[in-house]
Chains A and B, each alone.
Chain A
Amino acid sequence: MKSIHVSTTVNGDAVEFICAPDESLLDVLRNRLGLTGAKEGCGTGDCGACSVTLNGRLVCSCLVLGAEAEGADVGTIEGLANGDALHQLQQSFIDHAALQCGICTPGILVAAKALLEKNPDPTDTEVRYWLAGNLCRCTGYDKIIHAVQDAAQKMRSA
């Protein structure tokens, strides 16, 4: 298989990599760029642990080819905090104990950030539907919903 050279932007930084034509963006992020925040839970679009944004759209990076990132703008969990300053969503997840093992957390944070950018004042039902593609086997979801709502409220009054 012929390798492909890709120039892209990840969390605002210009990045170049070489990948195989059938390699997923998730594998590129984790294995070639050392960005291991996005996790592989299923590899088939069901769990959301690999969530990133592609040109501002929330997607499963396991369902994107690395080669498709050419010229695109990729956003990952690594771009959420500002240096050492946590994003409000991260702080609210800690405050509300909205994680246990943490495997699902990067994907949920990326997804929740995309939600609040589109809808800063969602209802609980809107949060639940938005996050329906993010599976968590530990928390039972309630704390996740509370944490997102807490962050939303603080971000609105910030």
Chain B
Amino acid sequence: MRFAQPRTTEEAAGLIAQEAGLTRILSGGTDVMVQLKSGLVEPDLIVDIKHIPGLRAITPEDGGFRIGAAVSGAELGEHEGVRALWPGVVEGVELIGSTQVQGRATMAGNLCNGSPAADAVPGLVAANAIARIMGPDGERDCPVAEIPVGPGKTTLAKAEFLTSIFLPARPDRSGDAYLRFIPRTEMDIAVAAAAVSLTLDAAGTVTAARVALGAVAPTIRLVPAAADAILGAKLDDAAIAALMEACSAACNPIDDKRGTIEFRTQVAGVLAKRAALIAYSRAGGTV
């Protein structure tokens, strides 16, 4: 195994493109190091991207924020601007692991690791965040929702890697929230999870919404039917019931000792309801 610390994205892309064997990008390493230790992967090349200028920066852009791919959860959580604009995204990221893990773990790593239970991803999908990807032919932008394709699998080509994730601007009266269910209060993997992002008009009617579910399908799932259920409504009981039903209908979960299919399917709906109510109140609405 070789270890490289490139200083530019071009250098990193070149190193990866030239490597005939297996490459692993190293951001926070909180997944990579566990995989190395277990012998699950034996990379020929590790590319540490933390020393590429800009990859650890949070930069305001067009009313939103560009988050460098190597920004840790702790650094993101300390950024008041991002917290204020996208509180649901930040609360998803902050649920990852312990204080120690937060000191290293990144959103990009959480996304590219491809876990169906990744805590940062539903919030990013609900936010319609856009990943910037560097590859041998230069940069391209891709919605976060289109990156995961199955457990441990992404749509990234061999020599591609994320350089940043863009959280867009949002209209006034917007809010988002993320909730997960775990069997204890800290340090566990989501059994079901939901993120909701919405925008209200002055009367409190939902004019735009995105709902994403975690841990109930092979990938994080955007559920347009759940968003449709609350569009044009003020989160009255009927709209909430339709939201919950649409979420449960979108579930295709595994069945294991941490949660049965029935449990995960029902809880996904309940979490979507609660997340929608939190997002609604963050947007300034009163139910």
Contacts and interface: CB of A to CB of B under 8 A. Distances in A.
Contacts, number: 87
A132 interface: yes
Given A63-B104, A64-B33, A57 B2 contact: no
**By DSSP majority rule, is chain B's interface helix, strand, loop, or mixed?**
mixed
B43 to A, nearest CB: 9
Interface in A122-157: 129-134
A77 interface: no
Given A45-B98, A48-B98, A63-B104, 5 more contacts: A21-B1, A44-B34, A44-B37, A58-B103, A133-B100
B98 A132 contact: yes
**By DSSP majority rule, is chain A's interface helix, strand, loop, or mixed?**
mixed
B12 to A, nearest CB: 16
B103 A57 contact: yes
B48 interface: yes
B37 A132 contact: no
A46 interface: yes
Contacts of B26: 65, 68
Nearest to A4: B3
Interface in B92-116: 97-101, 103-104
B72 A57 contact: yes
Given A44-B34, A46-B187, A62-B33, A22 B100 contact: no
A64 B5 contact: no
Contact of A45 (B2, B3, B48, B97): B97
Contact of B2 (A2, A62, A111): A2
B34 A63 contact: yes
Contact residues on B (Cβ < 8 Å of other chain), bracket: 20 to 34
Interface string B79-102: 000000000000000000111110
B46 interface: yes
B29 interface: yes
Contacts of A63: 28-30, 33-34, 100-101, 104
Contacts of B103: 54, 57-59
Contacts of B187: 46, 132-133
